[in-house]
């Protein structure tokens, strides 16, 4: 399997610190819908706790990727939807448990007024490319 190429500082663009500006890969595309902090029974994990919610969301992403024959090493793009930008450090900590700093995907973070229900503090979707 070929490793995706990650570029954190293309010429003329300020260097990225928590993501890669560009990730290119060849292979089978996998899209994972936005994941919420729900356990396997559909119960909220981490009410009012962004760190607990982020850990559950990354666990859900891991399980979804595995179901498609992928892993975090195949992720080329993450999109974070957060109700408060103060939750970003908790998300970064949860992400660090799955993605080392030298393998960061392209990313976007969007602050939203709310998610599908008020108890959800964040939602994350992923795009991966498997094989090549």
Among 85, 93, 84, 125, smallest CA distance to 106 is for 125
Say what the pTM is.
0.93
More confident residue, 20 or 95: 95
In a domain, 4, yes or no: no
In a domain, 1, yes or no: no
In a domain, 121, yes or no: yes
In a domain, 7, yes or no: no
28 bridge partner residues: 130
Domain around 112: 24-130
In a domain, 30, yes or no: yes
In a domain, 114, yes or no: yes
Q: pLDDT > 90: what percent of the chain?
A: 81
Domain of 48, CATH number, reads: 3.30.1330.40
| Distance (Å, whole) CA 37 – CA 41 | 11
| Distance (Å, whole) CA 51 – CA 107 | 19
The two beta strands, 75-82 and 106-111, are parallel
Total structural domains within the chain: 1
More confident residue, 6 or 30: 30
* Residue range 34-89, pLDDT digits in tens: 999 999 999 999 999 999 999 999 999 999 999 999 999 999 999 999 999 999 99
In a domain, 52, yes or no: yes
Task: Break the chain down into helix, strand, coil percent, rounded to 5.
Answer: 25, 30, 45
In a domain, 10, yes or no: no
In the chain, beta strands by DSSP E: 5-7, 22-24, 28-35, 75-82, 106-111, 122-130
């Amino acid at each position: 399997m070929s490793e995706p190429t990650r570029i954190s500082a293309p010429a003329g663009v300020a260097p990225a610190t928590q993501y890669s500006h560009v990730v290119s890969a060849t292979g089978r595309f996998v899209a994972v819908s936005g994941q919420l902090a729900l356990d396997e029974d559909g119960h909220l994990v981490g009410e009012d706790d962004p760190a607990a919610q982020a850990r559950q969301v990354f666990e859900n992403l891991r399980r979804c990727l595995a179901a498609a024959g992928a892993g975090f090493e195949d992720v080329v793009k993450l999109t974070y939807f957060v109700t408060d930008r103060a939750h970003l450090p908790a998300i970064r900590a949860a992400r660090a448990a799955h993605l080392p700093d030298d393998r960061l995907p392209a990313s976007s973070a969007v602050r939203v007024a709310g998610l599908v229900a008020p108890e959800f503090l964040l939602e994350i979707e992923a795009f991966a490319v498997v094989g090549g």
